[in-house]
Amino acid sequence: MKGYIQVYTGNGKGKTTASLGLALRAAGAGLKVYIAQFLKNGEYSEIKALSRFENITIEQFGMGKFVRGNPSEEEMAAGRAGYLKLCEVLMAGKHDLVIAEEGNVAVMCRILSEKEILDLMDLKPEHVELVITGRGATAAIMEKADLVTEMMEIKHYYKNGVTARVGIEK
């Protein structure tokens, strides 16, 4: 089966949810899945759920906080570790679905470069499906992808003071 490159971007809710839904579908079909979460660090509900699948590996490469201004050395090191791990996973070609969650945000925050994401896309073996999520996908990343979905916020309860809820947003 040929693998494609998918990008889920935009300012609306649902980018991570869409990629995790795809991971769940792939796992159910017996495919091997690798998920790298950039910027995140912590016990999110999806990690608890996905860890129950022996054919899904999920790793976090972040400090678990918003990057404001220039990233710290620790944030840069975590992002670099995630990037190198993704390169290793793609070159090994043992996974059917590889997800770079918040990869676009890592570029926006200057933890990764646009060129690094484009290079990841070049590393993708023919049979591997690569998904890159996060708001702010660059024009070059979207151009190189085979499928781009933009989540557009129309209305969000966050603006009415609703914070992230366990099991729904985190």
The two three-digit tokens of residue 16, written as one number: 């991570």
- The whole-number mean pLDDT for each consecutive block of 10 residues of the chain, a chain of 170 residues, reads 96 94 96 94 82 94 74 90 98 98 95 97 98 98 98 86 78
Predicted TM-score (pTM) above 0.85: yes
CA distance 161 to 105: 24
* Residue ranges covered by each domain of the chain: 5-153
pLDDT for res 140: 98
pLDDT for res 67: 66
What's the CATH number for 5-153?
3.40.50.300
Q: Which pairs with CB-CB distance under 8 Å and at least 24 residues apart come from 11-14?
A: 11/135, 11/151, 11/152, 11/153, 12/150, 12/151, 12/152, 12/153, 12/154, 12/156, 13/151, 13/153, 13/156, 13/169, 14/151
- Closest to 118 measured CA to CA, from 138, 147, 134, 99: 138
pLDDT for res 65: 64
pLDDT for res 40: 76
pLDDT for res 167: 75
